[in-house]
Every structure is written in C-alpha cells, then in structure tokens.
Structure 1
Amino acid sequence: MARRESRAPYTDPKDVIAGLLAAYFTAGDDAPERLHAELSRPGLSSIGRVEGAALFPLPDGVDPAPERLRRAGMWLVRNGTDRRAVLVGLLLLEATARRADIPVLRMMGLLPDFTESVVRTIAGITGTTADLVWLAERAGAERRGYVIRALVDRADPMARRWLLRNALSDFGPGGNEFALRIAEVTRLADALVAVDRDDRLRDQAIGLMLRMTRHDDYGTVIDRYRDARRVFALIAAETTWMAPTSERCAELAAVVEELRTGASACLDWARGEREEILERLLVVLRSPAWTRTLDEAERDAGSETSYSGWRARWARAVLAIGHDGTMAGAIGNPLRRFEIRITLPIPPRSGVFGGVETRVLIDGRPIIADLFHQGAAEPPEKLLLRGELRATEEPRRVRLAEAWCTEGCCGGLYVTIVREGDEVVWRDWERQSGAGLAEEFRFAAPEYDREIARAEADHGWEWPARTLARLVNAAVLEDPTILGRWNCSVDWIGAVLGEYDVARIWLLDDSGEYSDQFGYGLHAEVEDLEGQARSVIEAFRVAHPRKMLEYQRSRLE
C-alpha cells in the first residue's frame, strides 16, 4: 500500500508574517532587502492575500520605532518585486506614513491589488482629501468604492462636494447601505435645494435613490432615509428643465415603477403626496421631447439584441400604465383589488443590476414590499411559469419572497392561497418574525383568474435571452423525463440583464451520492428563439446533458 504523504500543519498567514517581521526588527542590521527576500520565498505561498488585515501584532518585547517601520515599509513599496512583500510594506506604512510619502502611495493605489491598503494609509494622514479625490478619479471601477468610502468617513466640505456629483458606484455587497450613508453625509436634499439646475447632481440623486431600493445585503433601506419623500419630490419638480437622454428616461421610469410598486410606495406619505409626484414625473416623461428621445433610442439601437433598445421599449411600457395600475385606455374596472406587476432591474449609472420581481398589488398596495423588507419578490419563473398563484380548492402554501441572504438565514414571506366558491382567499401569512402579518384578503374569483391568466401570458417584458431561458424551462417542467432519464434535474435556468444576450442553464447530476452541479451559457439567437429552444431540448433527449454542454463550451471557446 502506498504511504500517504503527511500534510504540514496549517499556519495562520498572520503568524508567518509576524514572525518574519519580528526576526527582522530584532536583528541588529537594517537591511530591508533581507526582509524582502524572506517575504518572497516560494515556500511562503500560504501567505496569500494579506490586504485588508490590520498590522500584524509583533511579539512582546519587539517594538521598533515608528521611523524604522516607515523606512522598511517604504523600501518594500518602492523596490518590491513580489506582491506579498509590497503588501506587507503598505501595512507597515498604515500607521507611519507621512505627507512626503503620498506621491509614491498615489501611484501604488492605481494598481488594483494595492488600492484598499493605500486608501487606508492616505486616509490616516490629515489634510489628504484632495489626494483621495485624485485617486477616486483614476482608480478602476472595481476599486473606486474603497476611495469613496474613505471620503464618506471624512465628510469634510471638499469630500462632500465631490461625493455629491461623483459618488454613485458599484459598491458591492452593502451598496444600498452605503448609498444611504452618502445621501445623509452629503445632505442630499439640502444640496438639491441649494444648487440650481445641475444635471450631474440630479443624476446622482436619482441613482442613489434607486440604489437604496435594491434588495441586496439584507433588504432595502429607503424607509430609513429620513429625507426620502423630500428628495423624490425635488427630483419630480426639477425634471421639467433636465435635458432628456435615454439613460434619464430609463432611470426616471424606474423611479415611477418604484413609487408605484416598490418599497418607496410604502413610505409614510401624506394624503395625495405620492400621486402628485407620480403625476409630475409622468407629465414630463410623456411630453414630446422625452418621447422623441425614446423613439431615437429605439431607432439608433436597431437590433432586437441591443440592451439600449430594449431598455427604451421597457421605459415606454412603464409610461403606458395609468396611476391606477391599468394600461392606459384599458377596458374594465380600473379599481381592481388584485394586480400582478413584473418589475425589471433597470440600473442607475453604476451598472448595478437586481433581479426581475413578481410584485403583487392589493388595492394598489404593494403587499410584498409592505410586509417583507429582507429580500425581493420571487421571479415570474417561480410564481407564474409554474402556476404557483393559481387558486384551487386545495390550499396551496406559496413563497412570495425570499431574504437576500437565503431563507435559512433571514426567512421568507409565505401565504396560503385557496378557492372558496366564487372567491379566492389569501390567508395564513407567514414570515420569520411572525409579527404584524397582514389580514386575510378575498378576491372575486373570475377577476382573479383573469389577472393570473393575463400575467402568465404576458412576456412582453422579456429580453431575448430571458425568453430562451423561459422556453427551455417550460419544456423541462412539462416533461420531467427529458432530464429524468439521465438522473438530472434543473438547478436554475434563467438570464440576467448583466449578461444581456446570454441564457444560463445550470443542472444537477443526481446519479451519485451527492448532486453535482454543471452548466453553461447559451447566446440567444434572436431570429428563431423557439427553434433554438427546441434544439436544446432535443439534444437533452438524445444524449446526457453533459455531452451537449461540452459541445457548447467548445463552440464558445
């Protein structure tokens, strides 16, 4: 029997680095190249990513003078040829750097691996707001958030002026919380009043408000922004002089949709206040100048596969809906008690996308947003494609929303749907906290059934990749043997706006002790989406899906 090789015990990278620093600083000589050689040894690959850690504590009795720490750190930063050594040099500088070191630090901050540590170092030196702004305007988009956070923490007049016009960014997890901090630190509402006709400031305000309504990182925060109603009113009042662009059309349409069906509709509005804001926005967006902008965006986009063209069509669809939630000019009672709205994650200029939601309005009240703040409503593929909202005499427990982090962490929102004679009843609401749940709701069954049928048949909101994903999904749901013959099942089939022309298929191979996930992307063939979906299903029928996936991967490569 072959002898199993023993593995070396795990050593915390902090302990490794602390030991090397202790050995260096207790030595009599002052040769930073020796420290660099130790930090660059191949055998120390376990150090890995040390950026973001605090300065590693040195053993008792090892307390070098700050100037010695600084000299070693600057030598490693200026002369380092190994990423690990440079990172340790930056860590040594975090508490010891001087203003004279800033030119070198600014240059290092432009390198993605070092931005976070450089920002902490510069932020620790007084009077460096201008240097942080310099770095924010030059750092890559994926690292810019570090600098913006430092400017928010500083919040001096120069920082606030810059943030008011430049702070919108992809902040990553926690971005909605950070957007809230920016709005508060910059005194956004007061700035909108004080600064007259500044398009860039207004664009930032729109983007920050939309960002606060996103459900990432444990839910929306718009209800915690004290000036939310005031800022929405100021945005609506000032759209009359803003120059129409395709981006502004989409973002303001997203504001309209949010005020109709999202968490913002549930703010503590005065009577008629929200309706007045919606009226002002719609008057502007439906005016000739703004509708011409949408026309031009569709025409210039040309192809059906264009995101900008699809976005313009989406904005037009939002503007075609009346205040009461019905299509403009629709026949029938506009005061329906039950309505389904599919809402789309049109992003502000930061490019942050959320998910498609199936929102439910009861007497115009966005019931899911009102009752559940921890996550978004379920997508239509779960609630409509599978017929989850249909009412039968057999009660059905349906999950309407799931927490951003997962249901197992922060719960979900459930309701029981049942048909009782000529009425449909939504009852027995459940969520993790269990407090303050909604009352029972009853709907006239014929009207309820018509609304469900309308929503299930309405695919006008889809973009091509989402349509392809729906067609494939519907086929495997209708005939479980398509994947079942290979002991496979669906994990997720869908598409996101961040990958506009790609449908993603993720499957589970259940033949082993544990399910094995595999998947790939399909580029949507707009000319014949139904034919493409049939080809995918036929491939699944005749061979194990892994074979088809391997072929597709080779084609894409």
Structure 2
Amino acid sequence: MSDAGEREALDPRTFLEHATILQFAHPDGPLPDGGRPYPDAEHVAGLPRTDEPYAARKRKLVDVVTSVYEAEPSAGRACGLLSDALTSMRVEPRFVGPLAEAVASVDPAWRRRVGRELAYRSRERGKVTVGLALLSGVAGPRDAAPVRLLGLLSRHFGETAIRVLRQIPGAARDLVWLAERSDPWRHAQAVEALCSLAEPVTFGWLLREGVRPGEPSVTNARTIAETVGLADVVGDDEIGEDVVEQAGQLLVATTLRGAGNAELRRYNDAPTALARFARAAGRMSATFDRYAMIVSLLADLHVGQAATLKWPGDELGWVRATLERLLDQPAWAGVLDLAGRSTDPAIYQRARWASLVRTTCGQVPLPELSMDDEHSRLAIRVSVPDPALGGAVETSVFVDGRPVVAEVFAAGPAEEPEYLLGPDHRLHAEVEPHEVRLAEADCTEGCCGALYVTIERRDGEVIWRDWRNPDRSSLDLPTVRFDVGQYDAEIARAENDHSWEWPDRSVARLLRARLREHPDLLGRWDCHLGWVAARPDDQGRVHVSYFYPNQPAGVEGLWLQFVAVIDLPAGDPEIVADEIVRRITDADPRRQQWLTGGSAEAARQFGFDWPVRH
C-alpha cells in the first residue's frame, strides 16, 4: 500500500469518526485544541477566499440549501446534490442560526434525513455544520449521542451541538456530559441551555458544577440560583455541608461585579438565600477555601451589591454578625492561621487577603445621619477580590454610609484606586468643576455605559452634581454636598492609604511612579509608558505596557505596543521596583517576546515578526 493509501486507511473517514477516536483517547475531555487538526485541513486550505460581506455569504448558503429542497424534495437524492454544492463553499459556524431559521418550515423528515447524512457521514466541516443546522429542532433521541460527540470538536461544532441537544426531548443528561468535557466557553453555553430546560435531574450538577471560578460560566450564576431554587435548597433543615458550600460558592459568583447577568441585585431571592446560608454555614467543617468564601460574602455584604438589597428590618446586620462570629470560632480562626504560615505563595497571599478584608470590613462606615442638616459624609474604602477568583480592585465610595456606586451602577466595577486615588488626583475638588468617571461597564462605556459625577468646590463645601450614565437617560441622582474639611481629609487619607496593597501591587505602584517621573528611561528607546498592572489572580507578576514610537490615541501613523511580563523576586517593594526598572530600560525594551499590539504592517516596517494568534 502506498504512503497516501496508508494515511487514508488510518485517518478517520468522517468527522464523527474523528471525534469518536479522540474521545476514546481523552475520555474526560476537553479534547486537545478542540479536536484539531481536523480531517479536512487540506481541503479547507484549498477553498477559494472571497471579499463578500457576511450577509452575502450567509444568503448564498441559505439559497443553496433551500433551492436544493425545492428542486429535490426526495431526501435520498437531495443528500448528494447538497453535498456536491457544499464542497466548494466556506461554511462558518455563525451561519447556523440564520440557516436553521430559514429552513424552519421545511419538511421535518427531509431535514432529519439530510441533516443526519451530512452531519454523521461527512469528511468536510462545512457539510457537518449544515447537517447540524438542519437537525436543529427536529433531531430525536437517537441523535443525542452522535451530536454530543461532534460537540467535543468545540472550535467548530460545540455551540451548534448544544443548540441541537437543547431541543431534543430527554437530552439534558447529554448536555451535562458535553459540558463536563467542554472548554470554558462551551461549558458556559451548555449550562445556559440546561438552565433553560430546568430539568430537576440536572439541578444537583448545576449546583456543583455549573459555575467554574474565573471562567465564563460565572455569568450563569444568578440563572442557576433561580433554576435550582437556591433559597429553598439552602433552607432545607437536612442540608449537608457540601451543599451548603456549593450554595455559598454560587452566592459568591453572583456578587462578582464582572458577572454580567449574574448580578446579585437582579436575584429576587437574594436576601432570603443569604440569610439562610448564614444560618446553615455553621454546618460546614472549617477549611481555608470555605473561610475565603465566607470572607468574599462578608465583603459584599459590607461594600457590594448585597449591602444595597432591600433587607427586612435589621437582617443585614444579623447576617454580617452571624458570619463574623463563625469565622471567629477557634476551628475557623485556626485554618486562617495555618494558611498564613503556608510556604505556598498562593495560599499565603490569599490568607493575607482574607485578613485584610476582614479588617477593612470592620472599618466600613455604617449608614448614618449627615453631619448636619446640609452636609453628607464621604468615606472611601478599597475592595480587593479573592485572588483565587480574580476580578477588579474597586474604589468603593460611601455617601452617608451607603455604597453609592454599587447602588446605582450594575454593569461593571467601580474604578480602580490607581485611577481615582492616584497621582492625577481625580477626586480632588477645585473651584473649576470637572467630571469624574466612578465606574465603567465590563465591556466598554460605549457598549453598556459608565457612571460620572461632576465635582466642584464652592463656598466652603464640595458639591457632587450632574450624575450621568451615557447608557441611561433616566439616571436621576440628587446633588450631594460635603463639608470641605471632612471631604479633603478623607481624600487625603484614602490617597495615602496603601494598606490594602499586596506586594505585587506595591511594586506596580512604585514602577508606575518611577517611569512617569523619569520618562527618559523609556524615552531613550523612543518608547512611551502605557499602563502598569498587578492582578489579584496573577500573583508574583507585574505587567508593564508601553508604545513605540507613538501612542495610538490621537496619533496618525504606525505604532506597536509591548507588554513586559515580569516575574517578581522576593524582597522590599522599593528595591524590587528599582530592579525591574533597570531590567526593562537598561537594554532595548522593544523585544519580540513582549510585542502584543499594533498592526502587522507596523511590525514589518519596524523589523518585528507579527505575533501569530491562536
């Protein structure tokens, strides 16, 4: 047998066979690189490319499929005609929705027969895609197994397979099977589908596995809580400690400001679920992960969305106090002490975070009356998320003890302290009014808005007025007046308070200051500082961004962005910052491994290789 013949005999003949073989080799998934390389890699590379817009390409595919149906209603003969027509076409996964909608009125039997033939027997991804689109809404129980196998090829068929499975009666367990073996994005899509089905048989899995910390599925947290009836689950007198922990983790996920539609304030049963969790939390034996979970909830109960809920009576204070007392018990205090002595840097830093958050929560001002009949009181605290969960470090602003940003803006976190409390002194009040952005949507301001306020100093007081959100014309907040002495003192205290920082963040602050104060350090290489960051979920590193030769904002011409990712040595932050400055600037910082942005043309012009995007 020739080499080519041997390869053909060994290689899978269809995509379904390809998925089956890979699943046998990787039974718990997800498949490496989403199942690539695909069997048709050479075929796809040879397909003609076109400059036609998306709408035209989508329309062409719909026309091909519908014209074959109209010309040949016999499914057996239509399979061959449609297969031949698709051989020379590039079919993208995003065509599935429009195609499924376009063929919704087509004979279901025709769609099932042709869809199965294309999806299960094709060696070309475009034909498999069209086959799955035809099966959408008409597939039966016998299709669940092959469709879920194709869904393992997540880079091309994952989302489409989930679309088909969610419409097959009794396929909820197949969605669970696929979710368990999927990459983070497809896992989140499968969880969303399971929530829409609301099959009680999946509720236990949704509570245990529906949210993966730090992954896209966090956006489903509120929907999961509503689907499984979390408030009733955690209120069960027979609840076990593992279920209490799962409920707590789900509640934490709903508090994350980056959780999009998981936003806690939209969960109607949130006060009930939180109160019942507080009652049940004592059932759990003490572990450090559980300690950190409760600390995250306490932080939100003091400075986040939970603090803004409509609590009956003094129940908010009771929930806070109950959880605080639990963490003060010897067994729970012991796990924190043990974590604080850990030689594992991640555990040690997380323990330090937990201690700092508990201290900060104790300093948060309670709702209180104004100083007098005219003036409100300002208080500022920095909120740091659990390093194991990631998220933004926020500047929490309190007016008369109320977390004003959390109350009126749910699309994203408050601005970071480096932005509001840094060297630009954005919260300083001057005679000349200026507008300050207090929060921005996770996506972008242009997409889902931001929260702005105008600040001015007038006649011995500081005035916050003209609140606005570009995404909401209905925002109507009252003008707030502060005593100038109290306001200035609180701003000065907040700007000089770095007790919330962990060592990486301190190094980042010092790096930013040195590179701003001495622009010639990067300037000798014609580079210009962008941003410097140390992230809670990326312990032991700082990221330094800079541009060459121009910054992109308001500049015409070519430019490149570099991001130096620096592993930090142990030591005093001042000494470490000086060492990092030397490491970046003593030699040319325009290094290939740090090139992250700009354009391929700029890279070519300046003698760099444009990074390959995977």
Q: Name the TM-score class by shorter chain.
A: 0.7 to 0.9
Structure 1 residue aligned with 2:188: 145
Aligned to 1:226, the other structure's residue is in SS state coil
Structure 2 residue aligned with 1:316: 355
1:319-330 pair list within 5 angstroms: 319-321=358-360, 323-325=362-364
Q: Is the 8 A contact 2:188 2:216 kept in 1?
A: no
Residues 481, 399 of structure 1: alpha-carbon distance in 2 compared, 3 angstrom cutoff? farther
Structure 1 residue aligned with 2:335: 293
Aligned with residue 458 of structure 1, among 497, 500, 524: 497
In 2, the alpha carbon distance for the partners of 1:8 and 1:372 equals 42
Q: Shift of residue 549 of structure 1?
A: 6.8
Structure 2 residue aligned with 1:21: 65
Equivalent pairs counted in the alignment come to 527
Aligned with residue 250 of structure 2, among 194, 208, 216: 208
Structure 1 residue aligned with 2:601: none
Q: Shift of residue 253 of structure 1?
A: 0.6
Q: Shift of residue 198 of structure 1?
A: 2.4
In 1, the alpha carbon distance for the partners of 2:429 and 2:501 equals 25
Deviations 1:293-326 (A, max 9, x none): 11222333x15xx333211111112223464528
Aligned to 2:291, the other structure's residue is in SS state helix
Residues 237, 517 of structure 1: alpha-carbon distance in 2 compared, 3 angstrom cutoff? farther
Q: Is the 8 A contact 1:173 1:216 kept in 2?
A: no
Structure 2 residue aligned with 1:130: 173
Q: Shift of residue 450 of structure 1?
A: 4.8
Q: Is the 8 A contact 1:246 1:293 kept in 2?
A: yes
In 1, the alpha carbon distance for the partners of 2:457 and 2:105 equals 72
Deviations 1:271-306 (A, max 9, x none): 422111111010111221112111222333x15xx3
Deviations 1:334-376 (A, max 9, x none): xx943321112227xxx75321101122332212222333332
Bigger Cα displacement from structure 2, 18-27 vs 121-130: 18-27
Deviations 1:72-92 (A, max 9, x none): 322333333333222222112
1:544-555 pair list within 5 angstroms: 545-547=589-591
Structure 1 residue aligned with 2:127: 85
Residues 481, 74 of structure 1: alpha-carbon distance in 2 compared, 3 angstrom cutoff? same
Residues 75, 52 of structure 1: alpha-carbon distance in 2 compared, 3 angstrom cutoff? closer
- What letter matches 2:494 in structure 1? A
In 2, the alpha carbon distance for the partners of 1:497 and 1:52 equals 39
Structure 2 residue aligned with 1:159: 202
Deviations 1:52-79 (A, max 9, x none): 52435779xx986433432332233333
Residues 291, 368 of structure 1: alpha-carbon distance in 2 compared, 3 angstrom cutoff? same
TM-score, with length taken from structure 1: 0.82
1:83-482 pair list within 5 angstroms: 83-112=125-154, 113-169=156-212, 175-176=218-219, 178-194=220-236, 196-216=238-258, 221-300=263-342, 302-303=343-344, 306-321=345-360, 323-325=362-364, 337-346=377-386, 353-386=390-423, 387-391=425-429, 395-409=433-447, 410-418=449-457, 425-432=462-469, 433=473, 435-443=475-483, 445=485, 448-482=487-521
Bigger Cα displacement from structure 2, 426-435 vs 18-27: 18-27
Q: Is the 8 A contact 1:389 1:417 kept in 2?
A: no
Gaps of 5+ in 1: 1-5, 327-335
Structure 2 residue aligned with 1:534: 578
Residues 259, 358 of structure 1: alpha-carbon distance in 2 compared, 3 angstrom cutoff? same
Aligned to 2:99, the other structure's residue is in SS state coil
Deviations 1:479-500 (A, max 9, x none): 4455566665443321323433
In 1, the alpha carbon distance for the partners of 2:175 and 2:61 equals 29
Aligned to 1:320, the other structure's residue is in SS state helix
Structure 2 residue aligned with 1:506: 545
Aligned to 2:341, the other structure's residue is in SS state helix
Q: Shift of residue 18 of structure 1?
A: 2.9
Structure 2 residue aligned with 1:39: 86
Aligned to 2:162, the other structure's residue is in SS state helix
- What letter matches 2:116 in structure 1? M
Q: Shift of residue 107 of structure 1?
A: 2.1
In 1, the alpha carbon distance for the partners of 2:412 and 2:594 equals 35
Q: Shift of residue 258 of structure 1?
A: 0.7
In 2, the alpha carbon distance for the partners of 1:68 and 1:382 equals 60
Deviations 1:376-433 (A, max 9, x none): 2110111122232345565554322223343344232224153865xx6242242134
Residues 8, 192 of structure 1: alpha-carbon distance in 2 compared, 3 angstrom cutoff? closer
- What letter matches 1:412 in structure 2? L
Gaps of 5+ in 2: 1-48, 366-375, 597-607
Q: Is the 8 A contact 1:358 1:378 kept in 2?
A: yes
Bigger Cα displacement from structure 2, 159-168 vs 285-294: 159-168
In 2, the alpha carbon distance for the partners of 1:282 and 1:255 equals 11
In 1, the alpha carbon distance for the partners of 2:359 and 2:149 equals 51
- What letter matches 1:30 in structure 2? R
Aligned to 1:239, the other structure's residue is in SS state helix
In 1, the alpha carbon distance for the partners of 2:587 and 2:209 equals 53
Residues 239, 393 of structure 1: alpha-carbon distance in 2 compared, 3 angstrom cutoff? same
Q: Shift of residue 183 of structure 1?
A: 1.9
In 1, the alpha carbon distance for the partners of 2:257 and 2:293 equals 17
Structure 1 residue aligned with 2:99: 55
Aligned with residue 77 of structure 2, among 30, 35, 39: 30
Q: Is the 8 A contact 2:563 2:595 kept in 1?
A: no
Q: Shift of residue 36 of structure 1?
A: 4.5
Q: Shift of residue 545 of structure 1?
A: 4.5
Q: Is the 8 A contact 1:384 1:456 kept in 2?
A: yes
In 2, the alpha carbon distance for the partners of 1:39 and 1:184 equals 43
In 1, the alpha carbon distance for the partners of 2:452 and 2:262 equals 15
Residues 49, 495 of structure 1: alpha-carbon distance in 2 compared, 3 angstrom cutoff? farther
Aligned alpha-carbon RMSD (Å): 3.7
Bigger Cα displacement from structure 2, 116-125 vs 161-170: 161-170
